[in-house]
Amino acid sequence: MANLLQEEGRTDDVIALCKRTLSLDERNAQAYTLLGEVYANRKEPAAALPYFEKSVEMQPKLTRNRLNLAGALIEVGQYGRAESLLNEIVREHPRFPFAHFNLGLLYDEQRRLEEAKTAYAAEVAAYPEHFKARFNLGKVMFQLGDRAGSLAQMREVVRLAPEQPEGYLFLARGLLQESAPIEQVQAVVEKGLSLARAPDQKALGWLLMADVYNRKRQPEKMNEALRNAGSYAPAPAH
């Protein structure tokens, strides 16, 4: 029942049902896991953490539970515990889905870019269709100065996930750095913008368009693009 409610997006109902279940059976490991997953999906890692802790305590051999816990630990900044847990997982199960990916996230958060690159590359080697791992690998390569490697990954992201805007936008960024033909770059940016939904994606897209118009010596369009980018920027904190 709880799984069905979760699939339907009725997260408040899932929480209520799981808590009611635990009031009757405090050893119900599935209820703890579901509660953790619901809070994690709602971007509330601090709320998810105690439930993932409990699910690991009750079922310590389940790798998925440990991976969930590691993800929550990363989100709340408990990097040492998360790293120990993830290293344990990859030693036991080198190809476990998302294990190397989460290690990459952990290293990325700490600006340990070479280690992040290695972790993301391991995830991509095990799961070549994992576009998020490729995307993050491409971003890290760009930061490390490997522009050709980054472009190759972003092209593959676009191939694997043509409906996702981020591949196009970051591919365009790399193409601008490489002074690719400006019409080619503009087409890639426009495709990314047409797919963008999140404000940060739209802001990046318009900043890239401003760069395109600047290189095409079209100042009025450049200024309009900058205004559009600014309209999606977060409001300053008071």
**Residue 171's pLDDT is what?**
98
Does a structural domain hold residue 135? Answer: no
Tens digit of each residue's pLDDT, the chain (238 residues): 445 555 556 678 778 888 888 888 888 888 999 899 999 999 999 999 999 999 999 999 999 999 999 999 999 999 999 999 999 999 999 999 999 999 999 999 999 999 999 999 999 999 999 999 999 999 999 999 999 999 999 999 999 999 999 999 999 999 999 999 999 999 999 999 999 999 999 999 999 999 999 999 999 999 999 999 999 977 554 4
**Residue 129's pLDDT is what?**
95
**Residue 233's pLDDT is what?**
75
Does a structural domain hold residue 16? Answer: yes
Position 114, amino acid: E
Domain carrying residue 87: 1-96
What CATH number corresponds to the domain at position 8? 1.25.40.10
Helix axes 29-41, 63-75, angle to 10 degrees: 40
Burial class (CB in 10 A: 0-12, 13-18, 19+), 27: exposed
Residue that is last in its domain, among 65, 96, 127: 96
**Residue 72's pLDDT is what?**
97
Same domain, 85 and 166: no
Query: How many domains does the chain divide into?
Result: 2
**Residue 24's pLDDT is what?**
87
- Interatomic CA distance for residues 191 and 115, integer angstroms: 32
Residue 38: C-alpha distances to residues 62, 145, 208 (Å): 19, 38, 36
Give the model confidence (pLDDT) of 120-160 as tens digits. 999 999 999 999 999 999 999 999 999 999 999 999 999 99
**Residue 10's pLDDT is what?**
67
Does a structural domain hold residue 156? Answer: no
**Residue 6's pLDDT is what?**
54
**Residue 52's pLDDT is what?**
96
Residue that is last in its domain, among 38, 71, 96: 96
Which tokens belong to 104?
């990459």
Nearby residues of 13 by Cβ (< 8 Å), 6 or more positions away: 5
**Residue 8's pLDDT is what?**
54
Does a structural domain hold residue 119? Answer: no
**Residue 115's pLDDT is what?**
98
Note whether 206 and 173 are within 8 A (CB).
no
What CATH number corresponds to the domain at position 185? 1.25.40
Q: Percentage helix, strand, coil, to 5, in the chain?
A: 75, 0, 25
- Interatomic CA distance for residues 72 and 91, integer angstroms: 20
pTM confidence score: 0.87
